[in-house]
Structure 1
Amino acid sequence: MYLVKTSPRALFAALIPLAIVEAVLMVFAIAGGQVVSDPEGVPAPDLILTLYGGRMAINAAFLFAGHIVLRQWTMSSRFAYALMGGVMAAASYGIAIRNHIQLAAPGDGTVVTFGLLPTIAGMIGGFLYSQFAGLSPVARAAGPSPAANPAETPPPLVFDGPVRVRTSVAGVAIAALMPAVLATLLPYTLLPLLMNGFADKSTAHIFAAVIPAQTFLVMLVISVIPATIFMLCLHHVARAMGRRSAWEYAAIGGAAAFACALLLAFMAPLLAVLTVPAAFCGAVMGALYRRFAGLEPVPLPEPVIATDPEALVGADHPSRHQHGVILSN
């Protein structure tokens, strides 16, 4: 039996999705607070940093506590850690709402809706923790040393049979986020031009933060379902071709995305400029999926339900190539 290791590096990786979501929600809270409740003022940077740091500290503490609980329960599956991450992120969000660790409270009827993003990010974070931390064998109970009796030492588990890339829901979810993440990088190249259009620099800074956040959410809503379908198709095509390496998945993803963008360009020529970015995005999606999916043994053939024992013969058996004759009276 194995347990997930305790790793600060894995905890840091698990906090990345939560950090992005918390930053997006805080940016919208700042923008909404300035436009609606306090048009003349902007929250002090110290207050913003304190609230953001407090939220991330709560998230980190809850994730670590959930990891310790799963170790006590000797649970190490990816599903268990993803579920733990979602529960802990939802609990952290509830504590923040109850204790006003936020710039602005969600509007009436939106508390649960706003909590979905941290919950999903927490599930991805829990999955990332289990991926980056690695596994370690459970310590044996006190007793004679295995070296004292080599005959009782169990051989290490190895497998040299055929393998294939797993179908991973979490891997698909992470890969499906890449179009939104990469599209969010575009507004940063235009920020100097956008900020020059505002006379008030405080307003310019807020919009400089809001525009990438808005781009991320809009692209997330638009692209997550098509990207999920694309990733599932890519995975099954690569599996049918017998490809297993990350480079092969990246090449197949880039070629498939380029072909899709090229087909769209025939219908709308203006979309031709997206062919190269689409190929890059597809390659990143394929490589990321392969990184987080892992391998599994090829399943054994399905058992055959037979009612006639005489039919249990091979394909090359003579009875398969000729028919018996029954002479009728």
Structure 2
Amino acid sequence: MYLVKNSPRALFAALIPLAIVEAVLLVYALAGGQVTDPVGVPAPDQILVLYAGRMAMNAALLFAGHIVLRQWTVSSRLAYGLMGGVMAAVSYGIAIRNHIQLTAPGDGTVMTIGLLPTIAGMIGGFLYGQFAGLSPVARAAVDASAADASGKPPPLAFNGPVRVRTSFAGIVIAALIPTVLATLLPYTLVPLLMNGFGDKSTAHIFAAVIPAQTFMVMMVISVIPSGIFMLCVHHATRAMSRRNAWEYAAIGGVAAFACMLLLAFAVPLLAFLVVPAAFCGAVMGAIYRRFAGLEPMPLPEAVIATDPNALVDADHPSRHQHGVILSN
């Protein structure tokens, strides 16, 4: 039996998706306030304190959920992903109820907006379970009970054939890579935006809104196609019996290059995206391999037999000649 370790490093990694989503929602709230009530927009220090408070609450709830799962001796990454989603939803509900936010969501959008931090929390919980590592609990008692039940001690190592797991969470994380890379591009426009406005406060708002808008748009239009692409790359790589990260990166890059090249033949304007797509595919493949993990090769399926005489090898003489029954 194993438990997930207490790890500040894993907690920091788990907070990254929540930090991104909270920043995007905060920027949208600032942009809306700049349009509806420019005078009432809070000062940067107040915004920073509000953002830090939300992140501290997310961290506290996520760590509390981890402690609860440790008490229940649950260590699966699926359970940690669900725990992260629940804790993020609770944090969002507390913020809504106690007005720990810049502006209240509009009518009919409370649940819809809450889906973003919930999904980010699920990814964060998965990341915590991935990076924290496992520690054995009561190994002596577990080993003794297992040995008594089977007559021999349980194996501590496995040297049989393995393959890369099909991981839904790994696919989701890899599918977000195009969104993240596309969001980095608008930051090159920030100096231009800062110089293009006479009102520097407005320039700061727009310089923050454009990357946030890019993130939301790219996430909506690219997550599902990227997830399908990553699933195909994974199965193709596994069919070739490859399981190293650099092999996943190479096959992902080649597949993305080929897909974008085909699109470029249909839409020539997309030709300049061929090389960036190959780079993005390589990063997606490596990221997926990092989070997917390994599993033992499945055993052959059991054969249902009704005739014992048919249970012979492929090279048995009876399979290469027909028996003869002389009729009267």
Question: What is the TM-score when the length of structure 2 is the normalising length?
Answer: 0.94
1:252 maps onto 2:254 in alignment: no
Aligned counterpart, 1:35: 35
Pairwise mapping of residues 77-226 of structure 1 onto structure 2 (< 5 A)?
Answer: 77-139=76-138, 157-226=156-225
Tell whether the 8 Å contact from 1:164 to 1:295 is kept in structure 2 after alignment: yes
Tell whether the 8 Å contact from 1:42 to 1:202 is kept in structure 2 after alignment: no
Q: Which letter does structure 2 place at the counterpart of 1:245? A: N
Aligned counterpart, 2:11: 11
Q: Residues 283 and 93 of structure 1: is their aligned pair in 2 closer, same or farther, counting only changes over 3 Å?
A: same
Q: Distance in 2 between matches of 1:322 and 1:198?
A: 88
Q: Residues 8 and 206 of structure 1: is their aligned pair in 2 closer, same or farther, counting only changes over 3 Å?
A: same
Q: Distance in 2 between matches of 1:251 and 1:75?
A: 36
Pairwise mapping of residues 239-278 of structure 1 onto structure 2 (< 5 A)?
Answer: 239-278=238-277
Aligned counterpart, 2:2: 2
SS of residue matched to 1:196 = helix
Report deviation, 1:34.
1.3
Q: Which letter does structure 1 place at the counterpart of 2:4? A: V
Report deviation, 1:192.
1.6
Report deviation, 1:288.
0.3
Q: Which letter does structure 1 place at the counterpart of 2:63? A: F
SS of residue matched to 2:41 = coil
Aligned counterpart, 1:24: 24
SS of residue matched to 1:53 = helix
Q: Which consecutive segments of 4 or more residues in structure 1 shift more than 6 A?
A: none
Q: How many residues align?
A: 319
Report deviation, 1:270.
1.1
Question: What is the TM-score when the length of structure 1 is the normalising length?
Answer: 0.94
Q: Residues 299 and 156 of structure 1: is their aligned pair in 2 closer, same or farther, counting only changes over 3 Å?
A: closer
Q: Which letter does structure 2 place at the counterpart of 1:123? A: M
Gaps of 5+ in 1: 143-151
Deviations 1:215-264 (A, max 9, x none): 00000000001000000000000000000000000000000000001000
Give me the identity figure in percent: 84
Deviations 1:53-82 (A, max 9, x none): 110011000000000000000000000100
Aligned counterpart, 2:63: 64
Alpha carbon RMSD of aligned pairs, Å? Answer: 1.6
Q: Distance in 1 between matches of 2:259 and 2:103?
A: 42
Aligned counterpart, 2:146: none
